Structure 1
Amino acid sequence: MYGDTVLEIQGLTKTYKNNRGIADVSLRVNEGDVYGFFGPNGAGKTTVMKIAAGLAKADRGSVRLFGYDPGERYEDAMKQVGVLIEKAEAFEYMSAYRNLEQAARLYPGLPNSRIDEALELVGLAAHKKEKVGHYSLGMKQRLGIASAILSKPKLLILDEPTNGLDIEGMVEIRELIARLAKEEQVTFFLSSHLISEMEMICNRVGILHNGRLIREGGMGELVHGSGQSLESYFVQQIRAEREAGRHEPAEVHYH
């Protein structure tokens, strides 16, 4: 089921002006994975995902998407990748359908039927003619996911994809991720605060704490072998880091 490496991160380091950031992060996402990337607020998850998606530059380290460095060959690296980082962006004076029409211009030859298909998948088909300015936060998030899956990517990088959704919406998005992974062989690299939801679909996990990757591996290897839920395992690992005194945010100094 799991094949070649589609995303490889090696020694990723980025320091901000306050000396905080991420330090020496390395991870691998293989074809067929639903990789859950977890960590407390401010741990650096979004920074890692932005760099992975070519939206920010690292100070050190490397990223490979399908074998390409997005910093050097962005189009080749990203042509099979869909991205939703932080909040979904859209033209609020346009309808959902018109927004996706604009996004579809980036993918020559994409049929209009795919727009309707994407809206149906995320539960917005009945609202496709409404202006996005009238949408709730959750509906805007669904539209962001529709835009991310529009081109039928092989890898989806999703930062908090259930942000703003009610309980029913969270379940629907989790089911959508599971369905795309199984039926369309889409690989996922995603972050979420809803660890109990993600446990149902993730096969690999990475735990980031204060800019450092403290655990990374398969669910069976890391979690199930301990007899704990993913949520309990996560809390235990974060507490252990803090109790061991490894609680300072990552700082990188150049000599």
Structure 2
Amino acid sequence: MTSESKYGEEKTGVMEDDGLIHLAPSNMQTYASKLSQMETSHVPRLVLRAKVAIVGDETVGKSALTQMFHSGGHMYPKNYIMTTSVDFCVKEVHIPETNASVELYLFDCAGQSIFNQREMNTKCWENTAFVMCVYDVSSRQSFQSVQTWLNKVRSSRPSTGGGPLPGVLVANKIDLREGGINARAVVDSQEGLNLAQHMGLEYFETSAMTGRDVDRPFNYMASQFHSNYESTVRRANALN
């Protein structure tokens, strides 16, 4: 049953003799929507954790990319400070249209050749879920080095029969492609894409200095980790 107020407007609901509040038809949909929102808000949140090894030659921008992503684009390092061991930070990434998020444990590893064989880097690569190989588009040497970096990280990972370690290849400093004849980039997009396909990595282009697309490779890894988790759960359920 419904009733009208003294202003002629339909009330949200009225109390009847049975002690229940009867909603006006026009408000049923709104009420149902609110109930749905309440139920959704009580769904337990899933938090996954993935370790990412970030590798590449010195000065390619590994630390700048990590800091820009971690700070939401607000902390570009003004002065270059060489990473001499391992820098570490954690950033949570929400997976759209789910109740899940992935905490990325980011290990920014030293790029100086004198540190390449140190035990610290090897420890940094243990139990890695993804690898991020970074090069500077204005340095062909850094581009040619990424295969070596990837091989080192993958060789430190025990063979589990699950295929090679997944990850991303990031072409950083793409702002250096601008400027016409004064552009400083020496590695073009097609070269980067070809190398990524050869290494079995996803390819991304970024500029830590301008903030352009810095989030994309990190969000991709978080999304892939969640997808892999979902696939594992489905396979496990199918066996039961």
Please give the TM-score of this superposition, normalised by the length of structure 1.
Answer: 0.26
TM-score w.r.t. length of structure 2: 0.27
